[in-house]
Structure 1
Amino acid sequence: MLLPPLDHKLSPFTGLTREHWCGYADHLLRSAHRYATDDHANIHLPGANSRYGPRSDSLEAFARTFLLASFRIAGDPANTGWIAEWYAAGLDAGTNPANPDRWPTPGELGQAKVEAASLAVGLALTRDVLWDKLPERVQEQLIAWFETVIGEEYPPINWVWFQIVVETFLASVGGRYSDEDIDGGLAIHDSLYRGGGWFADGPERAYDHYVGWAFQVYPQLWALMAPNDPRVAERKKLDGDRLADFLDDAAFLVGANGAPLIQGRSLIYRFAAAAPFWVGELSGHTRLAPGMARRAASGMLHYFARHGAITEDGLLSIGWHGEFAGMKQAYSGAGSPYWAAKGMLGLALPADHAAWTSVEAPLPVEVADTQRLIVAPGWQVDGTRADGVVRIRNHATDHAVVGAVVADSPLYARLGYSTHTFPDLAPESVDNAVALVDSSGRLTHRAGFEHLGSFSEGGFQVGASRFTAHWIEPDPDAGPDHGSGVAGTATPGPSVTVVSVTRGAVELRLVRVSGAGGSAAPLRIGGWPVDAASSMASSVLPVPGFGVALDSSGTFARPGAHPMGSALTIPWVGTSGAAHDGDYAAVVILAGAGGASPDAGVSFVAGEGEGHFEFPDGARLSGDQLARFDA
């Protein structure tokens, strides 16, 4: 792959310009095309198949690379004729009923409903270059193929947008469509809104990158597809304000290393997390400076490119840095990672757009230490300028509903996530946990917890949750993993309340155990998971003089590869014997090079009232300030 020299004048943080983005896009496209059938309809990428089989996976690879191709064509139609010609052939062969290797229709295969949306969006964005030049026979084939979505059932999650955009495209080209389908999908979309620009991906507390690359991106693309639809006009301000609100938060969730927050399912889509920043520029519904939006997006592309996400063969693997089979979910095939194409949406903007011509502006964490409460997912965001690390502490996201008794979902239910650490993918783990351990070594889970609230005061952020700790014997027939914790046979333990008081890299984690009774289970308070060879420091320290003593400690090690390296280690403190009813306190620290000291403890000073805690920088927090969580 040939790229121009980095331009640190225009892009002082990443060096990437539009020419670099075009170079990466063309390299990804040409590399994928090498695995296509002669008629271009199917791209059979090497690697594992999804549960839906090779016919589905080859369509997925075509559709997702076509989405990338459409962005490239829309932003530079004069120089992308080779891309349009290549995909025109595939669109013909894939929808030709006489072709024995044609695509399954959305009416025949559920996954085709997803891929149809990428095809529809791509054709809409390139209509004058591609659709209008297709023979009438091919247009009719495509319309007939798309029309099989009409009246189909779609799960009430982000999938409703796949039906909306396909039927909106059909309306624009004279095909059949259903206003009932479109209106019903919009109603479900609105029912999932939780405020502040945030959506839950379904009825559970499922907050993740789908908020950005689905719930925020599709409404704006839909508006571009149907500017004269009265529904678009009615919703313009509503959807635009929601996007702008979300982007205000999203800017605080990107690390100085360029990584997006490492949390939630479908992380193999990698730099798709850049999509909402680009769609804000495309639609104009953003309060961020164009240079900051590009800084965030280019940071993500640069992060993954330099960490091996693009293989020597020019393909996107299933993984985070390089290939990691453990990140494969039931619906993942070799073509799945190409939804990273969404993160290249900025290529649809012309070269003279301010998003490309503005000098890169720093991210919030590159300007100063940051603190931000994001209400819907219950996240306390703490970024530290010294090491560029963004951390969240989590008290309202678990991909479950209140009272659910399931195993913890590793990518949702932990107490903390960051831009510099990858969660331990085992559901049962001390990774950012407060858990009890039984005589066989099994740990309890917290999914289904009650969110007790959060607040910011005096330079501290505070959040809390309460749960019945429970052991789970997983059900071997629990079904495919779509993000939720695994179901199984539950054994209840004591009630546990956790309060996280955060200030930069330091978290004071307060724990109250109630109803321990005769469980005879020791307590474990776990820290951040770090690669043994990384520069990240993770520590957990007891707070002397407060509550019940934490008289045991250790480091959990998980040998073998993980998505960011090998030999994952997690420090913990706990009790040497059975946990008793009472209060416990630990200091949990994650710091990068040049950041906080991992030995920076918090002291407790007894005194009038509830006493106070003193943080490493001298800041004091009184016990009275935490009394609101005592109920």
Structure 2
Amino acid sequence: MTRSEALLAESITGWGRDRWAELADRMLLAVRAHASPGHARITPPGSPGGYGTAVDGLEGFARTFLVAGFRLAGEDGRDPLGLAEWYAKGLDAGTDPASPERWPRPEEHAQAKVEAASIALILDMTRPWLWDRLTDSVRDRVVDYLSAVVGDDTYPRCNWVWFRIVVETFLRSVGGPWRAEDIASDLAAHDSFYRGDGWFADGEERSFDHYGGWALHLYPVLWARMRGASDLAGDRTPLDVARLDRFLVDYVRLIGGDGAPLVQGRSLIYRFAAAAPLWAGAVAGVTSTSPGLLRRAASGMVAHFADRGAPDERGLLTIGWYDEWLALAQAYSGPASPYWAAKGMLGLALPADHPVWTAAEEPLPVERADGTWIASPPGWLISSTRADGLVRVVNHGTDHAVVGAQVGDSPLYTRLAYSTATAPLLSERAWTSPLDQSVVLLDAAGVATHRAGMRTLSVSQVGDAVVGASVACAHWLEAAPGQRDHGSGRQGVARDVAMVTTVSILRGPWEVRCVRLDPLPDAPDALREATALRIGGWPVAGDPTVTTEPGRAEARSGVLRSVLVPGPGLHRIGVHTEPDASPLGPNTATPWAAGEVTPGKWTAVAIGLDAGGQPGTSPAIHLVQEAVTVTWPDSTSTTTNLPTG
């Protein structure tokens, strides 16, 4: 490809394969200063993770090994940085029981099962340049280390099933131990997570998040290309690719015009790992999303972070979103955990003449036109607007729980809406008493109820708007002390108070949210403990300014604007401000409205989020007990029936 052709191919983002390679090499060289003498442990600066420094060091090796492997594979073994030799030394020390750098074994610590899969995957991918050149004694020790997973039935039934599949497939290819029943069981578990339309939940709960893409869609594609995997896959590979193909139709529409992924779900510190399913689509040769669109989406995503300081000036990835923000970590996060961002660099495993690198970049869906659509499996209503490049998701089906669960709301999963420009509040208060993007009842002390365990009633397209509804048994929660965040809501003692039905009508930058309270059938007096109904809007971060005036609460940060316009029965409005509650900026501001507790009667608010817009006109809401009609600012109307009973 000539230089002029390369410039044309990368004309939207400016990120071609050379620039991706430069970033990868910068990251790989930067971590060497934090490696142990034998290279087995790489421990970037920072406090030890929840699993201790030995696991931190193993994570650092295994996760950067992914980047190194992609570079070797994509260059057909050309290795100016000496990556194969450098990591071979680490394999030697890490598997040596007598070495002070030895890795925790899979039978000693569960996290080693995760990292073992990355090691096995890259040993297979780079076989001619690394595995085949190891000494017999090192190969024997690697096999012994990986063999601990065989027959181990303690793997969580979630994306972890792929770690055992990958390791045992590699072991089988080198004459090591493996069990066909392990692989069959894990493949069956994976298939049980499928929810339709290309979407997977990460386990039995309603855990829809980036793991669906960077794990449950990624590993089937890479596994199918491992040596001997075709013997094990049978005829399932076309189905796996078809599911990925369908998922990517939705996924590229969830990416903001600035390349931002949706700020939702756990393990957000992996950042541009969210590009992994895009590259998986290129590897698999999906047909519904073009190579030029796949690369534009992936390059936009890595550029989004690189342009905002991740990696940092040292070339390191810290715990955070852009810069370091430790509250974004989960209990399992350590200083090397962010290097699972490596998954988002899979494209480097493809050669320079692959169509994904030679095709001209194509605009994202949000860059082409406004759009609304539904993703039924997660219960999501989605709206994207070309003018500001924002994507908004209204959530009526995801909570990292099951229907009827009496747990606390996870800000990462259970809020009523997420976007590519906002993050849920993540302070301690946000975990125990929801405010942003919530419909709650307050007790006399101002403590809010939770909605986890809600039931989806419907999601549908109505003209050019999308409509969804859910009902929750609102409950206060006395959380058990000492809990460490794994992404899901807090456990504790729940006290039910009322049934809360919520209906959302979404179009463009506006959502109209209708709410009705009903007493509990078996405890009607419980509702008397509630002193107010409160509805929260979008949280904006940075250095926001706030405005409240009759009938309107607004928060602005730069060009980003969050607006809430209350409807009947909501007589109080305000803007909640809070420091250090978001990875997107030092301060946050969230509009809200509150009113009396009136059972059996609908109320409504209009909630808006845009970037660069003027105050303008908010939607007009005509609300009756059976239906709601919304007249949008452009005079278009949407009418939908409201649930009864």
Shift of 1:12: 2.4
Whichever residue aligns with residue 629 of structure 2, its letter is: H
Whichever residue aligns with residue 612 of structure 1, its letter is: T
Equivalent residue runs for 1:512-551 within 5 Å:
512-515=516-519, 517-531=527-541, 532=544, 533-543=557-567, 548-551=568-571
Structure 1 residues 135, 611: CA separation in 2 closer, same or farther (over 3 Å shift)?
A: closer
Report the counterpart of residue 351 of structure 2 in structure 1. Answer: 350
Contact 1:522 1:579 in 2 (8 A): no
Deviations 1:147-203 (A, max 9, x none): 111111211110010000000000111111111111111011111111111111111
Contact 2:472 2:501 in 1 (8 A): yes
Report the counterpart of residue 615 of structure 1 in structure 2. Answer: 632
Whichever residue aligns with residue 222 of structure 1, its letter is: W
1:601 to 618, 622, 626: 618
Shift of 1:613: 2.5
Contact 2:626 2:644 in 1 (8 A): no
Whichever residue aligns with residue 93 of structure 1, its letter is: A
Whichever residue aligns with residue 296 of structure 2, its letter is: R
Shift of 1:481: 2.1
State TM-score, norm by structure 2.
0.93
Q: Secondary structure at the match of 1:320?
A: coil
Shift of 1:579: 4.3
Contact 2:107 2:148 in 1 (8 A): yes
For residues 583 and 172 of structure 1, the distance between their equivalents in structure 2, rounded to whole angstroms, comes to 63
Structure 1 residues 276, 608: CA separation in 2 closer, same or farther (over 3 Å shift)?
A: closer
Contact 2:628 2:641 in 1 (8 A): no
For residues 467 and 35 of structure 1, the distance between their equivalents in structure 2, rounded to whole angstroms, comes to 49
Equivalent residue runs for 1:266-285 within 5 Å:
266-285=267-286
Structure 1 residues 286, 90: CA separation in 2 closer, same or farther (over 3 Å shift)?
A: farther
Contact 1:243 1:286 in 2 (8 A): no
Q: Secondary structure at the match of 1:234?
A: coil
1:584 to 592, 603, 626: 603
Whichever residue aligns with residue 350 of structure 1, its letter is: P
Q: Which runs of 5+ in 2 are unaligned?
A: 520-525, 545-556
Report the counterpart of residue 324 of structure 1 in structure 2. Answer: 325
Shift of 1:598: 4.4
Contact 2:471 2:499 in 1 (8 A): yes
Report the counterpart of residue 453 of structure 2 in structure 1. Answer: 448
Structure 1 residues 81, 553: CA separation in 2 closer, same or farther (over 3 Å shift)?
A: closer
Q: Secondary structure at the match of 1:591?
A: strand
Whichever residue aligns with residue 638 of structure 2, its letter is: L
Shift of 1:376: 0.6
Contact 2:38 2:101 in 1 (8 A): no
For residues 222 and 144 of structure 1, the distance between their equivalents in structure 2, rounded to whole angstroms, comes to 21
Q: Secondary structure at the match of 1:559?
A: strand
For residues 197 and 628 of structure 2, the distance between their equivalents in structure 1, rounded to whole angstroms, comes to 36
Equivalent residue runs for 1:400-549 within 5 Å:
400-425=401-426, 426-427=430-431, 428-477=433-482, 479-515=483-519, 517-531=527-541, 532=544, 533-543=557-567, 548-549=568-569
Q: Secondary structure at the match of 1:582?
A: coil
For residues 430 and 92 of structure 1, the distance between their equivalents in structure 2, rounded to whole angstroms, comes to 52
Report the counterpart of residue 40 of structure 1 in structure 2. Answer: 39
Shift of 1:609: 8.0
1:158 aligns with 2:172: no
For residues 568 and 7 of structure 1, the distance between their equivalents in structure 2, rounded to whole angstroms, comes to 41
Whichever residue aligns with residue 105 of structure 1, its letter is: R
For residues 278 and 606 of structure 1, the distance between their equivalents in structure 2, rounded to whole angstroms, comes to 46
Shift of 1:8: 5.6
Report the counterpart of residue 553 of structure 2 in structure 1. Answer: none
For residues 625 and 115 of structure 2, the distance between their equivalents in structure 1, rounded to whole angstroms, comes to 64
Deviations 1:495-543 (A, max 9, x none): 1100000011110101111127423421111110101143210011023
Equivalent residue runs for 1:30-429 within 5 Å:
30-76=29-75, 77-80=77-80, 82-152=82-152, 153-226=154-227, 229-425=230-426, 426-427=430-431, 428-429=433-434
Q: Secondary structure at the match of 2:235?
A: helix
For residues 450 and 238 of structure 2, the distance between their equivalents in structure 1, rounded to whole angstroms, comes to 42
Shift of 1:80: 4.3
Q: Secondary structure at the match of 2:8?
A: coil
Whichever residue aligns with residue 133 of structure 1, its letter is: R
For residues 485 and 394 of structure 1, the distance between their equivalents in structure 2, rounded to whole angstroms, comes to 16
Shift of 1:611: 6.6
Deviations 1:451-507 (A, max 9, x none): 101110211100000011111121104x43222110112222221100000011110
Contact 1:6 1:16 in 2 (8 A): no
State how many pairs are aligned.
617
Contact 1:422 1:529 in 2 (8 A): yes
Whichever residue aligns with residue 78 of structure 1, its letter is: R
For residues 625 and 92 of structure 2, the distance between their equivalents in structure 1, rounded to whole angstroms, comes to 79
Q: Secondary structure at the match of 1:144?
A: helix
Contact 1:6 1:15 in 2 (8 A): no
Contact 1:529 1:538 in 2 (8 A): yes
For residues 103 and 318 of structure 1, the distance between their equivalents in structure 2, rounded to whole angstroms, comes to 22
For residues 627 and 151 of structure 2, the distance between their equivalents in structure 1, rounded to whole angstroms, comes to 61
Report the counterpart of residue 579 of structure 2 in structure 1. Answer: 559
Out of 508-517 and 354-363, give the one that drifted further: 508-517
Shift of 1:615: 1.3
Contact 1:393 1:417 in 2 (8 A): yes
For residues 607 and 233 of structure 1, the distance between their equivalents in structure 2, rounded to whole angstroms, comes to 56
Q: Secondary structure at the match of 2:602?
A: strand
For residues 593 and 617 of structure 2, the distance between their equivalents in structure 1, rounded to whole angstroms, comes to 15
Contact 1:290 1:354 in 2 (8 A): yes
Report the counterpart of residue 630 of structure 1 in structure 2. Answer: 644
For residues 617 and 633 of structure 2, the distance between their equivalents in structure 1, rounded to whole angstroms, comes to 6
Contact 2:436 2:537 in 1 (8 A): yes
Contact 1:539 1:599 in 2 (8 A): no
Contact 2:6 2:358 in 1 (8 A): no
Contact 1:247 1:286 in 2 (8 A): no
Q: Secondary structure at the match of 1:185?
A: helix
For residues 478 and 385 of structure 2, the distance between their equivalents in structure 1, rounded to whole angstroms, comes to 39
Contact 1:75 1:347 in 2 (8 A): yes
Q: Secondary structure at the match of 2:224?
A: helix
Contact 1:519 1:578 in 2 (8 A): no
Whichever residue aligns with residue 62 of structure 2, its letter is: A
Contact 2:441 2:449 in 1 (8 A): yes
Q: Secondary structure at the match of 1:23?
A: helix
For residues 180 and 618 of structure 2, the distance between their equivalents in structure 1, rounded to whole angstroms, comes to 60
Q: Secondary structure at the match of 2:13?
A: coil
Q: Secondary structure at the match of 2:271?
A: helix
For residues 237 and 101 of structure 1, the distance between their equivalents in structure 2, rounded to whole angstroms, comes to 42
